[in-house]
Amino acid sequence: MRLALPAMLLFAYGTLQDADVLAAVLGRAVDIAALQSASAPDFKAVAYPGRVYPALVACPSAAAPGLLIGGLNRLDMAVLDAFEGDEYRRAGIPILLDEQIIHAQAYLPAIPIHANAPARSLLRWLANHKPRVIAAETGMARSLRERLSALQPDKP
């Protein structure tokens, strides 16, 4: 008998907070209203150099706002890892949720980025970049999910 692995928690501070992007990556509709608002204490979302999306960097006394995404399985995490690519590494960080510190996974930049880099927010990406990139991101996510689901065993 196999034990079910616990679902993973992911702190999203950038484009994964967008319902369209998250649904495209996970391959299912996502009710953003059901996700929990949270923040990453001592972190800040800044511009990833040369990119239209943010990076989460250590910054004492700051707090990066975001959403806590729960109920993620191994395939979800594999697709998310592939979607984020070599520019990010997934790591556990402390998250403030309902005045309690918990630990969740988050995507941190694979390169050093200074906390003094320009701040970046989801609202800026939505206004300036989403209309141009959503179709390409949706297609890439679908391809990754199909490829990775073929490699996953039938049961968790």
- What domains lie within the chain, and their CATH numbers? 8-149 (3.10.490.10)
Query: pTM of the full predicted structure?
Result: 0.80
Q: What is the pLDDT of residues 84-107, one digit of tens each?
A: 999 999 999 999 999 999 999 999
Q: What is the pLDDT of residues 46-68, one digit of tens each?
A: 999 988 889 999 999 999 999 99
Q: Considering Cα of 151, then 153, then 154, then 156, what sign does the dihedral take?
A: negative
Separation between Cα atoms, residue 92 and residue 63, nearest integer Å: 16
Distances (CA, A) of 127 to 124, 137, 138: 5, 16, 18
